[in-house]
Amino acid sequence: MASAHAIPSLDEEFEFTAESKRRLIIGIGAGVALVAIGAYLLASGAGSHETHEVAHAAGGHEGHEAGHHAYKWTNRLWANVWLNAVYFTGASVIGMFFLSYNYLAQAGWSSAFKRIPEAMPAFLPFTGIAILAVFLIAGHDLFHWTHPGLYDPSSPEFDPIINGKKGFLNTPFYLIRIVLYFGLWYGLWRLLRNFSLQEDLYGGTDYYEKSIKFGTAFLVVFGVTSSTSAWDFVMSIDTHWFSTMFGWYTLASWHVTGLAIITLTVVTLKERGYLKIVNESHLHDLGKFMFAFSIFWTYVWFAQFMLIYYANLPEETIYYRERFSGYGGIYKAPFFINLILNFVFPFLVLMTRDAKRTYIFLKLAAWGIIVGHYFDFYTNIMPGTVGEHGGFGPIEFGMILIFACGFVWSLSNQLTKANLIPKNHPMLEESLHHDI
Amino acid sequence: MSDVNGNGKFLVGIYDDDDVVLKAVKDVKTAGVRIHEVYSPFPIHGLDVALGHPRTRLGIAAFLFGLSGTTTALLLTAYTESFDWPMIVGGKDSYSPIVYVPIIFELTVLFCALGMVGTFLVSNGLGPTVKPLMYDLRTTDNKFAMTIDLSKNTIGEGDIEQILRKSGAAEVNIKQF
């Protein structure tokens, strides 16, 4: 019953302590050191005996993408930056997505913790710059379709299939699209963020009405750009292969990751004594969100897999063949870790009502999802970019550390910039009495 | 929920408002009266907690119905595709469960849904030939009724009536089955 608990104070200032800053700097430093060690090992050729064997075992599975010129060790470095940039772009933009659909639905319950999704998109400029930089520096090594010979009928490299995709997959249009995605996502977020901050100062429902309008505009934009960015960032790596479900699939992956990050942040803040007005019912709903969208992701994953499996067309099945048994089977483990961490684990952990109201289970499930979806993008990006040279070494762990610590820094920094509870949000009263 | 084919004498307190009835449940219970059931035209938030009902076991029933659907689908697809009329489609084994996941999923949902409809009818004492117990017809429209089984209470009839009226009941009737 709502009346059973008193409403705590609405004034909460988040403090980004020197201790947390120190830890994050150490994390980033350790990440840089690990990447440096990994890069040194790769450059000096350590472990190459292993990759040679693998290359033999791989046979001709990857033959159709053999257009990669001589493999350079830097490919793995850039592929890792790309992978993390894509993953954290999703994690950031989902904050805006969550805000927008809650505005559109005029949902009240989420307003108690809306500062957290609101803080997430602040990381977008960093991932945007990383994505642009990797494409400009190493686009030729990572993206088969950037090779000019593919589009020249007189060249031995000429590929009629890729030539047919020229209207969409060409460097100028690609660059325009990347700038557009990040510009639109970040710009619309800044608008919503400003409305929200001014609402704190002046109150009234004007800012709320405007937020609904611009939030809806974002949903229209994101409806298109979530799909096209998934094609650009991930699907275009395997240039010949395509799946009509891919945009939807990547959105599902991003979305559940973002929800897990929101849940984990809410629980962590509560454990530190913040967000007193967030009660068990809010946590229960967040748990349901993670549970439901883990199943949704699995549904899309399986639908895509089963259609390809059932139809058995060589140009489609090669995608799963590469991941399942290609390149000496090095992607088989990530392939199954992906399914276990993203479906089986959250499904079982979050099944009961009590688990969705208990910190430890929510944290377990959220961590499972966050790690699991890294593997989701890993299995989608790595085989097409580094193939048999992939693996899990210092460079992978280091890059994750750098991006994750950067993301947490950006999130914490944004949280300090406003009261943790949107005091004048018109739906706050409903959220305070949220009871399910 | 509880005693659907109860016979005996009941006191029926009629309330006009859902907030009043929710508060009345607590007051009446504090006064030491055992409440039989509360009837309402729509679900009242927190009423089950106030009445002290144990956690529902519908989830277990739903799981078992779903499991029966899963089993049926597995047996059906395995029997037809591997024993009755084995076929090779698309180069797959004659029985490859991945292909049948949609059928397994759908039959699980179907059995679960139908089973829960049956559970609903049985647990609420509804059905084509069953005459439902109606304490007050107005609870299907705009009134809320709290029923008290006199045979299960040691407090006298007159005292209970006083308690009900004090808790906000607009009228108190006697219902005999």
Q: pLDDT tens-digit profile of A286-322?
A: 999 999 999 999 999 999 999 999 888 888 999 999 9
Q: With 70 as the cut, is the pLDDT of residue B3 above it?
A: no
Q: Do A306 and B102 touch (CB under 8 A)?
A: yes
Is the pLDDT at B15 greater than 90? The verdict is: yes
Please tell me the predicted confidence (pLDDT) of residue B126.
84
Q: How many Å lie between the alpha carbon of A285 and the closest alpha carbon of chain B?
A: 16
Nearest-CA distance B136 → chain A (Å): 27
Q: What is the pLDDT of residue A68?
A: 47
> Which pLDDT score, from 0 to 100, does residue A69 have?
57
Nearest residue on chain A to B91, alpha-carbon basis: A312
* Number of CB atoms found within 10 A of residue B35's CB: 19
Which residues on A lie below 8 Å from B92 (Cβ)? 310, 312
A interface with B, Cβ–Cβ < 8 A, is 1, 302, 306, 309-312, 435
Structure tokens given for A132 = 């642009």
Q: Which residues of B154-165 are buried (b: 16+ CB within 10 A; e: fewer)?
A: eeeeeebbebbe
| A347 contacts in chain B (CB < 8 Å) | none
User: pLDDT exceeding 70 applies to what percent of chain B?
Assistant: 96
Question: Is the pLDDT assigned to residue B141 strictly greater than 60?
Answer: yes
Which residues from chain B sit within 8 angstroms of residue A312, using beta carbons?
Answer: 90-92
Spell out the SS3 assignment of B121-170. HHHCCCCCCCCCCCCCHHHHCCCEEEEEEHHHCCCCHHHHHHHHHHCCCC
Q: What span, in angstroms and rounded, lies between the C-alpha atoms of A79 and A123?
A: 20
Q: Which of B46, B49, B101 sits opposite A302 (nearest CB)?
A: B101
Closest CA to B3 of B125, B102, B107, B91: B125
Residue-averaged pLDDT of chain A: 90
- The whole-number average pLDDT for the span A332-344 is 95
H or E segment at B12? strand B9-15
If DSSP states are collapsed to H, E and C, what string results for B19-62?
Answer: HHHHHHHHHHHHCCCCCCEEECCCCCCCHHHHHCCCCCCHHHHH
Q: Using pLDDT thresholds of 50, 70 and 90, give the confidence band for residue A57.
A: very low
Contact between B90 and A311 using a beta-carbon 8 Å cutoff? yes
Q: Give pLDDT, residue A55.
A: 45
The predicted pLDDT at position A61 comes to 42
Look at residues A320, A131, A436 and name the one whose alpha carbon lies nearest to residue B45: A436
Contact A30, A292 (CB under 8 A): no
A62 — pLDDT class (breaks 50, 70, 90): very low
Phi then psi for A160, rounded to 5 degrees? -60, -30
What is the reported pLDDT for B124?
Answer: 82
Q: Does the structure show a pLDDT above 80 at A48?
A: no
Subunit contact A309:B99, Cβ cutoff 8 A: yes
Q: Is pLDDT at B62 greater than 60 in this prediction?
A: yes
Number of CB pairs, chain A paired with chain B, less than 8 A apart: 19
Indicate the residue of B49, B50, B98 with minimum beta-carbon distance to A309.
B98
The residue ranges of every structural domain in chain B are 9-52+131-176, 58-123
Which residue from B minimizes the CA distance to A313?
A: B90
What is the structure's pLDDT at A117?
A: 96
- Judge whether residue A233 has pLDDT over 80: yes
Q: What is the mean pLDDT of residues A92-102?
A: 96
Query: Which of B19, B45, B51, B60 should we substitute to test contact with A (largest number of A Cβ atoms within 10 Å)?
Result: B45
Q: How far is B90 from chain A (nearest CA, A)?
A: 7
Please tell me the least confidently modeled range out of A31-35, A183-187, A200-204: A200-204
Interchain CB distance below 8 Å, A1 and B99: no
What pTM, to 2 d.p., does this model score? 0.87
Amino acid occupying residue A322 = E
Q: In this complex, do B99 and A312 lie within 8 Å of one another by their Cβ atoms?
A: no
Kind plus residue range of the DSSP H or E element containing A233: helix A206-233
- pLDDT value of residue A54: 44
Chain A residues near residue B45 by CB distance under 8 angstroms: 435
CA distance B156 to B145: 20
Q: At residue B34, does pLDDT exceed 60?
A: yes
Contacts of A309 in chain B (CB under 8 A): 98-99
Mark yes or no for CB contact B49/A1 under 8 Å: yes
Share of chain A above pLDDT 70, in %: 92
Low-confidence winner among A44-58, A256-270, A324-338 (lowest mean pLDDT): A44-58
Which tens digits make up the pLDDT trace of A250-263?
A: 999 999 999 999 99
Give residues with Cβ within 8 angstroms of A115, minimum separation 6.
A415, A418, A419, A420, A421, A422
Give the rounded distance of the alpha carbon of A225 from its chain centre: 14
pLDDT of amino acid A6: 60
Nearest alpha carbon to residue A311 among B89, B101, B140 = B89
Which residues, 6+ apart, have CB-to-CB distance to A120 below 8 Å? Answer: A91, A92, A94, A95, A96, A258, A261, A262, A411, A414
pLDDT band at A326 (very low <50, low <70, confident <90, very high): confident
Residue A380's CB: how many other CB atoms inside 10 A?
Answer: 25
Q: Looking at residues A102-110, what average pLDDT do you find?
A: 94
- pLDDT of amino acid B129: 82
- pLDDT for the residue A297: 96
In this predicted structure, what is the pLDDT of residue A370? Answer: 97
* Tokens found for residue A203: 């109150």
- Domain spanning B9-52+131-176, CATH class: alpha beta
pLDDT at A339 over 60: yes
Per-residue burial over A144-168, b if 16 or more Cβ lie within 10 Å, else e, is bbbbeebbeeeeeeebeebeebeee
Residue A305's closest chain B neighbor by CA? Answer: B98
The stretch B60-71 carries a mean pLDDT of 96
A258: CB partners within 8 A, 6+ apart: A90, A91, A93, A94, A95, A97, A98, A117, A120
Q: Which residues of B touch A435 (CB under 8 A)?
A: 45-46
Q: Please, what is the Cα angle at B49 between B46 and B54, to 5 degrees?
A: 140
What pLDDT was estimated at residue B7? 62
Instruction: Show the tokens assigned to A413.
Output: 């920094």
Taking contacts as CB-CB distances below 8 angstroms, the residues of chain B near A302 are 101
Closest Cα to residue A25, out of A426, A420, A401, A423? A401
Nearest to A306 among B45, B50, B98 (CB): B98
As for the ipTM of the complex, it is 0.76
* C-beta atoms of A310 and B102 within 8 A: no
Helix (H) or strand (E) holding B176: strand B171-176
Nearest CA-CA distance, residue A380 and chain B, Å: 21
User: Using a CB-CB distance cutoff of 8 angstroms, which residues of chain B are in contact with residue A311?
Assistant: 90
Stretch B60-73: mean pLDDT = 96
Closest CA of chain B from A204, distance in Å: 30
Distance in angstroms (rounded) separating the CA atoms of residues A100 and A90:
15
pLDDT tens profile A358-410? 999 999 999 999 999 999 999 999 999 998 888 899 999 999 999 999 999 99
Please report, as a single letter, which amino acid is at residue A150. L
pLDDT at A3: 47
With a cut of 70, say whether residue A46 has pLDDT above it: no
Chain A residue at shortest CA distance from B46: A1
Higher pLDDT: A22 or B154? It is A22
Contacts of A1 in chain B (CB under 8 A): 46, 49-50
Pull the structure tokens for residue B41: 């035209």
pLDDT in tens, B77-121: 999 988 898 888 777 877 888 888 999 999 999 999 999 999 999
